Amino acid sequence: MSGAGISVAAGIPDFRSPKTGLYSNLQQYNLPSPNSIFTLSYFAKNPKPFYHLAKQMYKTYNPTPCHYFVKLLEDHNLLQRNYTQNIDSLELYAGVSPSKIIPAHGSLSSGHCINCNKHYPMSFILQNIQLDLIPRCTFCNHYVKPDIAFFGELLPRSFFDHIEEDFDKCSLLIVMGTSLQVTPFASLVDRVSRGCPRLLMNNERVESFVEGEEDGVYLG
């Protein structure tokens, strides 16, 4: 399981770090709350803040050692699946097989109209935001949104398709770079069988982990 923390070294800010996190640098958008920028109802009324931010998100970034670590696990036939909160697709750029990746919160690689659901490739969205335009549907003229899960939206079906099998088979759960504050992703740490060791690699401790017989904690 991985979160935004594993992509910080690539130049992508995480969400909750003081001063440098995404939520600490949203004052310029005059939002009702920090979460508003990722809320569908707000996006439908005012997508400009999101797409101003998205222009940074669509830059080209390189995988970090953490992403290559996931690839190494796969190369040694030790990776059951990588459940990631990240939408940057850096696992794919590191060479991890698509079938091994569950992008729990979606991906920037495609989009759809929020009205008629017409689908669009990433190139369509990129073409618009590089011109400082809001992508609009060519069929109904409503806003086009990347296929990432906003607050209150359902997660991709792939997130639910493999949970039971994957976590029943899990013999070691590694959790990297996430504060585990967003559900249902955060609840996955409790899906492993009793006795399955869990390892947290993070900047800070999270409540779900108690260092001891079955939990290992590496901070830093």
* Residue numbers annotated as active site: 105
Instruction: Record the tokens describing residue 111, joined without a space.
Output: 């989009």
What is the SS3 assignment for 145?
strand
What's phi and psi for 53, nearest 5 deg?
A: -70, -40
* 154/142 Cα distance (integer angstroms): 21
Q: How many residues does the chain have?
A: 220
Instruction: Give the distance from CA 19 to its chain's centroid.
Output: 20
* 155/135 Cα distance (integer angstroms): 22
Q: Residue 75: how many CB atoms within 10 A of its CB?
A: 12
Residue type, 212: G
Pairing status of strand 215-219 against strand 198-202: parallel
Contact criterion met (CB below 8 Å) for 14 and 177: yes
